Structure 1
Amino acid sequence: MKKTMKVSIRELVEFVYKEGSIDLRFQSRSSMLIGTRLHQKWQKQYKEGDEKEVFLKGEKEAGGLVYHLEGRCDGIHYDDGEVTVEEIKSTAKSLDLIEGGSRVHWAQGECYAYLLAKEKELSHVSVQLTYIEVETERTKSFMHTYSIEELERIVKETLIAYTPFATVILTNEESKLKSVPGLTFPYPSYRKGQKKLAGAVYKTVTESKSLYANAPTGTGKTISTLFPAIKAMAEGNSKWYYVTAKTITRTVAEEALLLLENKGLAHRTVTITAKDKICFKEETICQKEYCEFANGYYDRINGALIDILTQETIITRPIIESYASKHRVCPFEYSIDLSYLVDGVICDYNYIFDPRVSLKRMSDESKKKTNLLIDEAHNLVGRGREMYSAALTKSAFLQIKKRHPDHEGLKQAITAVNKQFLRLKKEEDADTRVELDGSFVETIAGFIEIAEKCLGEMGREWSEEFMQLYFDSISFVRISNLYSEEHRFVIGRSSQDVEVKLYCIDPSKLIKQVTRPYQSSVFFSATLLPFSYYFQQLGGSEEDYRFLIPSPFQHNQWQVGIHPISTRFRDRERTLPIIIRSIEETFNGYKGNYLIFFSSYSYMQKAYDRMNKKSMDAVVLIQEPNMSEREREEFLREFRSDREQPVIGLAVLGGIFSEGIDLKGDRLKGVIVVGVGLPQPSMEQEIIKDYFNAMGMNGYDYAYVYPGLNKVFQSGGRLIRSEEDRGVLKLIDDRYLTPKYRDLLLDEWKEYRIIT
C-alpha cells in the first residue's frame, strides 16, 4: 500500500516555489488585517452565483506517494459556462513594479484550478491573479486559461519536487510512531510522587484538559511531564511545546529528551533561541545587503531543512548554528521554520503567549493537536502582565520629529499625537482610569499608517529610534484591542514628560484565551504557591485538574531557623549590623558554601560593604546587575564542593540565581533569606492592590505578600536538590512568625527553631 501525505496547497507551493531573501527592513505589521479587509472589499463586488472562500480538496499520486491536497481558494467566477479561479494578493509594492505575477502565486491558483476541474469534471479552467495595492487600493489582474492536461502536469511536477521533503517527514513520523508504544520510563524506579504526576499529565493530555500542578523540587518535573506527553503521541496527539522562562530549564528539557532517546525514542525536537542571541552578525539587521544569511535564504532553506531532519533528532542551539552555517541560512528563521515540522519544540513563553512574537503560522487545526507543557508557571503571571501591557511616551515622538524634520506627513502625525499627550496632561481626571481613551488610540493608529508609508519608501534609511517607536505604537494598538476590565489606562505625568500606559492587572483571561485552542495545557512549578493565587492568575477554572504533592524529601534534610529581626525599610539602617552578625554566626556554625538573598541590590550592597570577610574566612561574591551568561556561569562555577575556602554568594530575591540553578551535594550547604521578598511599592502594585480589594479579595496579599513569598520559596528551594542533600535554611524577618506567614510557609519548613 502506498504511503499517503496530507498537505495544504499553500504549504506545498511555498515549499517548492518560494525564492529570494529575508528582508525585514520593513514589513507592515498591520498588513494581515489590511489584507483581509481588502480581500473582503474586493469579494463584495462578486456577481450573483460567484463563490468566495471555497474549500477544495482532492487526491493526486506522484513520486510514489498519494497526496491528500486541500486549501481555501479566494473566489470562483462563473461566466456563460466558463469557470475562473481567482487568487487575491494585497501588496505594499507599487503595482507598476509587478509584471506578470509571482510564480508561487500562480502555482497556488493552478493547484486550486486543478482540484476544481477534477471535482466538477471540467476540461479547462482559467486562473485570475489579482493584486491590490495597499496604499491606493488600485488593482491589477493577470489571467491565463489551462486545459485539464496542463493542470495535471503542473500539479504532478510540483508534487514530484515536494516528494523528497515529504519522504523525510513520513519516514520520521513512521519511526516515531513505532518507537512510542514500547518507550519506558528512563529511570529504574519513580521518585516519590513522580508516578502520580506523570499519570496526571497523561490523563490531562488524553482527555484534552488543563492541569495546574505544584510539584516540589526533587519530583523530577521535566521528565514527569515530557514522558507522558510523548507517550500520549501513540494515541494520535501529534505535537508538544515545552515553554519556559529560563535558558537553564531548556537545557534540562534537552537532557531529558536524550535519556528518552537512549531508551529508544525516535522523534524530532528543536530549541528556539532568541534572534539577538543566535544571530551570526554583529548587529541583527535582516536585510540582504547586510546579511549573507538573509540574502537568498529561500533559495537554500529547502535543502537545509531536508538535511537536518534526515540527520538530527534533538536539534539544540549548537546543531542549528552548525547546519545554518553549512547551508548559509539565518539560524533564527531556520529554527522557526523547523518548529512547524518537528514533534516537539522547546522555547520561551513569548512564542506562545506574547501577541508581539507568537508563532503566527500555527493554525487552529494544528493547535488542536498540540499540547503545552508550561514550566516554572509561577513566572507566567508577571510575564503575562508585561506581555499584555504597553506604554508610549510623549518625548519619544518629539525626538523622532526632531530627527526627521523634512517629512511633512510624519510631522503632522506626530503633532496630532503630541496634542493628545498634552490634552491628557492637562485633564484633571484621575491618573488611573477604567475606560480606554479611544481618541488617543485612534491618533496612534493614524501615526502607524503614516509611519508605514515612510518605512515603505525604498532607499531611505530610517533611524533605529523611529523603528522602535513604530513597533511600540503597533504594540500599543494591539494591546488596546485586548483591553478589558482587567486593564487600566494609566497617565504618568512629570515636568519633563508624559507616559500613557495600558496596564494589565490580571492576565488570567488572556492566558486562558491563548491556551484554549490547544489540545491540552499543563502548568507546573515547584512553587505554584500559594496555590489558589496562581490557579486564579493563570486562568484556572472549575473543570480544570489540580495536582499538589508534598516534597519527596524528608523534613530532617532541612535545618530551618527563623531569626525575627525587622527588615522593613525604615528599620534597615538600625538592624543591618544584627543581620550581618546573624549571617556570620550561621556560617561559622555550619561551614560550607552559602547563598544569601536580599530584596534589592542596594540592600545587598550595603550588607556586602559592612561584612567582615576576614572573620568568616570565605570568598564573598556579589551578583551584579545585567550579568552576561558567561558571568553567571563563572559565579556558579565557584560553588565547588572541594574548596579549601568556602564561597558566600550574595544575590537578589527573584533574580537569576534564585531559581533554575542546581547546586547539589556539598556545592551548597546553606541558604539565608533576608526579608520577605515584598515587591517595591509602585503605582502598578497599588493598582493591583486596589483592583483585588474591589473584587472582595485581600489586595495587599495579591500585590505584595504572595509574589514576595514565591520568591522566598524559590530561593530556599536552591538548598535541597536530592535525597542525599542536607543543609541550613535561615529566614531573617520577624514577619515569618506572624500567623499569616506561618500558615503560608512550605510544609517542609514548618519544623523551624526560633533564633534569638
Structure 2
Amino acid sequence: MRIEISVRALVEFILRNGDIDNRIHQAPADAMQEGSRIHRMIQKSMGPDYHAEVPLEYVYEANGYELVISGRADGVLDKFFGKPGAYDAQESFIEKSVAMPLIDEIKGTYRDLNHLKEPVLVHLSQAKCYAAIYSRQIKCPEIKVRMSYCNIDSEEMKYFDYKFSYKEITGWFDDIVSSYLKWSDFEYNWSIERTASLKKVAFPFTYRDGQKDLAAGVYRTIIHGKKLFLEAPTGTGKTITTVFPAVKAMGEGKTSKIFYLTAKSITRTVPEEAFNTLRKTQNMSLKTVTITARDKICFLEDAERNCNPVVCPYAKGHYDRINDAIFDCLTHEDSFNREVIIEYAKKHEVCPFEMSLDMSLWADAVICDYNYVFDPFVYLRRFFADGVKGDYIFLVDETHNLLDRGRDMYSAVLRKENFLELKNTIKEYHPSIAGHLDKCNKVMLDMKRECDGCTKLTSIEKLVNPLNRLAGIISEYLENHSEGPCREDILEFYFDISRFLTIYDRVDDHYVMYSEFSEDGSFLVRLFCADPSRNLSECMERGRSAILFSATLLPIQYYKKLLGGTDEDFEMYAKSVFDPNRLGLFIGSDVTSRYSQRSDSQYMNIAGYIHNIVSARSGNYLIFFPSHQFLDDVLACYVDNFLDEDTTEVLVQKSFMSEDAREMFLDRFSAGNNLDLSKVIHMDIDIVEDKNILGFCVMGGIFSEGIDLKYDSLIGVIVVGTGIPLVCNEREILRGYFDDKGLDGFDYAYRFPGMNKVLQASGRVIRTEEDTGVAALLDDRFMQGSYRSLFPREWKNYKTVTTGTVKNAVSRFWTGLSGN
C-alpha cells in the first residue's frame, strides 16, 4: 500500500508554528496565476543546464506500507542532470565544485524585497526537501539550495543561497520524515480498518419502493465518473440513498474522500445522522467532519476582526498546539461535529474553525457548505488549489439552491461611492493610495454619466487598468505594514477590488457586464454571471463524480443545463413513496399575488382563506408569502378580522433571525406544541397548550426548506403566490440573456425559480409515509398550463376552490381520511 503526500504539504504540516494573525496580508486570489507567470519568466531566463519543473519522489519503506513523498522542484541547475554517481571519488575537487547541483525554489510576492531579510521557513524547507531527494538520487557529496523571490509587480529579484553536505541535507530530511511517521502509521492502520468495515456495510433499512434502484443508479454514476441529476421527492430517503453507495464506492477503492455539500447550516444534521446510522447499525468505521462557518464557531465576537494573537488567546500559539489537538481528536473520535470540534479546541486552546479545516485532511467524509468546493475565494485549497483532479465524490444536497448561489459566487460589484469615501478617509495618511482611488473614481464618474438607469457594458478596460494599478499599490502597502492608520478600511476595500479583478478574468459569454443605480442612488458596476454552468462544471471536474439531488429539480433539463451537466451525464426521477391521497391539494382560483392587483380586498380574501382552512381542521400551519411586505399586509388583515388569541397563536418570520430564534420558532411546531420553557425567556408569548400555531413565513427563506416537521407538528401549508421574483434590473438582465440564447427568458428568470420556491414550501407538509395534510396554492395563475406543467407527477388530483368553498372542500378531505 502507498500513502502519498506532497513535499509542500509535508513541510507545511510538520514545521508550522506560531500564531494565527489576520493582520498579516494574505496573497490575493490571482496570486497563483501571477506566481505561475513569474515562474515561467525566471525559468526561461536561465541557461541550458537549468531544468524546470523537475518531478522528484522519495519512497520510504515503512511498516507494511510505502510512504511516498513527491513534488516538482521549480528548477534544478546541473550540467550532469539526473546522472547517478556523476560526482564520485574519481572527479577532481575543482570538477566537483563546478558541477555541484543547485535546487531552485521560486516564490512570487507582492512584498518589498528590501524588507525580506530571510526566506520563509516553509519555503526554504520545501527546497531542502527537494535537495535531499535529489542528493539521494544522484549521490552528490554537496548540494546548493537557492530561494528566488520575485516581486510580482516590479519583477525585482532577491536570492538566498545555502550549501549543504550530503549528510546534512539527508539527515535533516530524515528527521522530517520521522516526525510524520506517526501520522502515516495512523493513516495506514485506519485505512485497513475502514476498508474492511465498508465492505461489510449493508443498507440500514428495508428498501422502499424504488429506493434500491435509486441507490444503484448513484453507485453506477460514481463508477462511471459522471454527474447525476436526481429529483428525489420527500420520503425517498435521498440522504441515506446517496451516502450509502458513496460509502460502498469508498470501500471498493473508488474514492478517498466524500464531500457532502449543503446550502444552509440548518441542514447539516441530516447527513451527520445518516453517517451515524451507518456507524451504529453496520459497525462502520468512517471519520466525518462538519465544517461550521468561522463566525458561528468562533469563541469571540466579530471573528474576522479578532483573529489575531493580540485579541484571541486561541490564535496566539495556535500552530504550536494544533497538531497535538488533531491527533488527540483523531484517535478518540469518529464524528468531528461542531460540538466535538469545540470540545477539543478548548482543551488544546486552538482556533475551532481552523481545527475543523485541518480535520478535513484526516476525515473520510467532509460535511460543509457549497462554498468550500465552489466558491473561488473560499474553496478548500488543501484539496483543490493545485488543479490536480482527485477521486473525490461530491454529494450536492438541495441542488436547486446551487444555481443562485453559483451566480453569486462568480459575480462581483463595485460601488463608486466607496472609492470616494475611502479616499477622503485616508488622504491624510496615504496620499499615494488616495491618488489612485481618485483616478478610479473619475473613470466611474464618466461611466455614471453614461448610465441610463441600467446599461449593458461591452468593455470596462478603462476601469480595469487603473484598478490593477490601485490593487498593486494597496497590495504592496499591506505586505509591508501589519499595522497602520485606516489599515482595516484599506484591507476590506482591497478584498472588494481583488474579487472584482479576479472575476473579471473569468468574464466570457456566460457573463453580462452592466452598470446601474441602486435604491439609495449609489452607482454600481456589475460583473454578473448569468450562466454559472462553466464555472460550476470546472469545480466538479476536480473530483471523480458529482451527485446533485433535490426534492424539487423541475424542469430537470433547466437545472442540468445551468449547473454544468452534459449530454453524457445522467438524470433520474425517484418515485414518491407517499400515497397521494394523504395530501389534499387545493388551488385558490379567486385570488392573486400579482403586484399590479395587490389591494386591501386581495389581502382580505387571502386572510379569509387562511381562516377557513384552519377552521376546517385545528392544528399547526405554515403560510408562505412572496415577500415580507406582502406578509405584513395580509397578517395585519388576518389579525384585525379573524385572529382568536385564545385558540390561535401567530409566529412571524423576521428578516433576520438568530439560530436561537429559529429554533424557538420551530419548537412551537413540535408535536403537541411542546416547548422547552427555558428557551422562552426572551419570547413575548403566552404558552398555552394545544393552540393552533400559524407560522407566517417568506418563500425561499429559512423555514421553506430543510426542516422536518413530522406527524401533527404540521398539518397544512398555505402558499400565497407563484413565487416569481419581483421585476428588477438583475432579473431583466437574466431574461434578456436567455432570450438572446433562443430560450424562454421569462421561464429562466422568473417562472422556474418561482415554482421551485412553491414546491419547496409545499413539501414541508408531508414528511413521512404516515403524514397527512393539506397544501393550498393561492393564485389564479396556478390554473394556467405553463404552471401546472411544472407540478410534480403526484399532484394530479388537485381541487379548485374559492374563498367561499375552501372550508367545505378541506373538511371533506379530512372527513374522507378519517372514514378510511
Q: TM-score, normalised by structure 2?
A: 0.88
Q: Which residue of 1 aligns with 2:492?
A: 468
Q: Give the partner amino acid of 1:685.
A: R
Q: 1:28 to 1:70 in 2, by over 3 A?
A: closer
Q: How much does 1:163 deviate?
A: 1.3
In structure 2, the residue matched to 1:380 is: 402
Cα shift at 1:695: 1.8
SS at match of 1:32: helix
TM alignment of 1:507-586, pairs within 5 A? 507-564=532-589, 565-573=591-599, 574-586=601-613
1:227 aligns with 2:227: no
For 1:210-225, list aligned pairs within 5 A. Answer: 210-225=227-242
Q: State the alpha-carbon separation in 2 of the partners of residues 92 and 65 from structure 1.
A: 42
Maintained 8 Å contact 1:436/1:488: no
* 3-state SS, counterpart of residue 101 of structure 2: strand
**What is the Cα deviation at residue 207 of structure 1?**
1.2
How do 1:187-586 residues align onto structure 2 when only pairs under 5 Å count?
187=205, 189-236=206-253, 237-262=255-280, 263-284=282-303, 285-363=306-384, 367-406=389-428, 407-427=430-450, 431-433=454-456, 435-456=458-479, 457-462=481-486, 464-493=488-517, 496-564=521-589, 565-573=591-599, 574-586=601-613
1:584–1:616 CA contact under 8 A, matched in 2: no
Aligned to 1:161: 179
**2:743 maps to 1:697:** yes
CA deviation map 1:249-279 (0-9, x unaligned): 2110001110011111112111111111111
Tell me, in whole angstroms, the C-alpha distance in 2 between the residues paired with 1:674 and 1:713. 12
Alpha carbons 2:454, 2:729 under 8 Å: kept: no
In structure 2, distance between residues paired with 1:101 and 1:181: 48
The change in CA–CA distance for 1:129 and 1:198 in structure 2 (over 3 A counts) is same
Residues 745 and 350 from structure 1, CA distance in 2 versus in 1: closer, same or farther, beyond 3 angstroms? same
User: How far did 1:88 drift?
Assistant: 2.4
What are structure 1's unaligned runs of at least 5 residues? none
Contact kept in structure 1, 2:236 and 2:576, CA below 8 Å: yes
Residues in 1 aligned to 2:53 and 2:315: alpha-carbon distance in whole angstroms: 34
Secondary structure in 1 aligned to 2:70?
strand
Listed one character per residue, the Cα deviations across residues 108-138 of structure 1 (whole Å, up to 9, x for unaligned) are: 2222122212222323322223333556544
Question: Aligned equivalents of 2:751 and 2:110: distance in 1?
Answer: 51
Q: Tell me, in whole angstroms, the C-alpha distance in 2 between the residues paired with 1:749 and 1:87.
A: 64
Q: Mapping of 1:657-672 within 5 angstroms?
A: 657-672=703-718
**Distance change >3 Å, CA 453–CA 121, structure 1 → 2:** closer
Match of 1:178 in 2: 196
Greater CA deviation, 139-148 or 46-55? 139-148
Deviation at 1:710, TM superposition (A): 0.6
Residue type at the aligned position of 1:369: D
The verdict on how the C-alpha distance between 1:100 and 1:506 changes in structure 2, with shifts beyond 3 A counting, is: closer
CA offset digits 1:271-316 (Å, max 9, x no partner): 1111111111122222222222222222111111211111111110
Asked if residue 755 in structure 1 is aligned to residue 801 in structure 2, the reply is yes
What 5-or-longer segments of structure 2 have no aligned partner?
80-97, 673-688, 803-820
Describe the superposition over 1:612-651 as per-residue Cα deviations: whole angstroms up to 9, x where unpaired.
2118931111111111111111111111332421211111
Mapping for residues 641-652 of structure 1, pairs under 5 Å = 641-642=671-672, 643-652=689-698
Paired AA for residue 8 in structure 2: R
- The residue type paired with residue 633 of structure 1 is E
1:414-446 CA-partner distances (Å, limit 9, x unpaired): 111111111112236894326231221222222
Structure 2: distance between partners of 1:366 and 1:318: 33
> Per the alignment, in what secondary structure is the counterpart of residue 709 of structure 2?
coil
2:811 match = none
Deviates more, 1:429-438 or 1:211-220: 429-438
Q: How far apart, in 2, do the equivalents of 1:465 and 1:174 lie?
A: 51
Give the ranges of 4+ consecutive aligned residues of structure 1 lying more than 6 Å apart after TM superposition. 62-65
Separation in 2 of the partners of 1:663 and 1:241?
A: 27
Counterpart for residue 658 of structure 2: 628
1:96 CA drift (Å): 5.0
1:562-619 residue CA offsets vs partner (Å, 9 max, x unmatched) = 1102222222213221221121111101221111111111111111111121189311
Distance 2:565 2:277 in 1: 32
User: What amino acid is aligned across from residue 593 of structure 1 in structure 2?
Assistant: N
Where 1:420 maps in the other structure, the secondary structure is helix
Report how far residue 532 of structure 1 moved.
2.1
Secondary structure of 2:382's match?
coil
Secondary structure, aligned partner of 2:565: coil
Shift of 1:192: 2.3
Amino acid of the structure 1 residue aligned with 2:70: E
Kindly provide the CA deviation profile for residues 52-86 of structure 1, in whole angstroms up to 9, marking residues without a partner as x. Answer: 11101122346886422211111111264221112
TM-superposition CA deviations, 1:690-714 (whole Å, max 9, x none): 1112222211111111111110000
Residue 41 of structure 1: how far off its partner (Å)? 2.7
Secondary structure at the aligned position of 1:288 is classed as coil
Select 1:114's aligned residue among 126, 132, 144.
132
- Paired amino acid for 1:586: I
Q: Which residue of structure 1 lines up, in the alignment, with residue 15 of structure 2? A: 17
Residue of structure 1 equivalent to 2:789: 743
1:601 is matched with 628
Q: Let me know the Cα RMSD of the aligned residues.
A: 2.1
| Distance in structure 2 (CA, Å) of the matches to 1:623 and 1:705 | 24
* CA apart distance, 1:39: 2.9
Distance 1:468 1:220 in 2: 43
Q: Which residue number corresponds to residue 88 of structure 2?
A: none
Show the counterpart of 1:76: 76
- Assess if the C-alpha contact under 8 Å between 2:111 and 2:476 holds in 1: no
Counterpart Cα distance in 1 of 2:56 and 2:75? 11
Please tell me whether the aligned partners of residues 722 and 754 of structure 2 are also in contact (alpha carbons under 8 angstroms): yes
Moved more, 375-384 or 496-505: 496-505
1:18 to partner: Cα distance: 2.0
Counterpart CA distance in 1 for 2:104 and 2:465 is: 34
Identify which range, 13-22 or 240-249, moves more after superposition: 13-22
Q: Contact 1:233 / 1:239 at 8 angstroms: preserved in 2?
A: yes
One-letter amino acid matched to 1:132: C
- Alignment CA distance shift 1:161-1:655 (3 Å): same
1:556 CA drift (Å): 0.6
- Residues of 2 paired with 1:97 and 1:482: CA distance? 34
Superposed CA offset, 1:26-53 (max 9, x none): 2131443443333333323211121111
Asked whether the equivalents of residues 448 and 473 of structure 1 are also in contact (C-alpha less than 8 Å), the reply is yes
CA contact (8 A) 2:588 2:779 kept: yes
TM superposition shift of 1:681 = 0.6
Is the Cα contact below 8 Å between 2:2 and 2:68 reproduced in 1? yes
Code of the residue aligned with 1:75 in structure 2: it is G
Please give the secondary structure, in 2, of the residue aligned with 1:362. helix
**Cα offset for 1:99?**
4.5
In the alignment, the residues of structure 1 paired with residue 350 and residue 200 of structure 2 have an alpha-carbon distance, to the nearest angstrom, of 37
Match of 2:675 in 1: none
Contact 1:238 1:369 in 2 (8 A): yes
Structure 1 residue 639 corresponds to structure 2 residue 665: no
**Matched residues, percent identical?**
39
SS of 2:234 mapped into structure 1? coil
Question: How many Å separate the matches in 2 of 1:96 and 1:448?
Answer: 20
Question: Following the alignment from structure 2 to structure 1, what is the Cα–Cα distance between the partners of residues 542 and 301?
Answer: 39
Give the aligned residue type for 1:718: R
Secondary structure of the residue aligned to 1:361 is helix
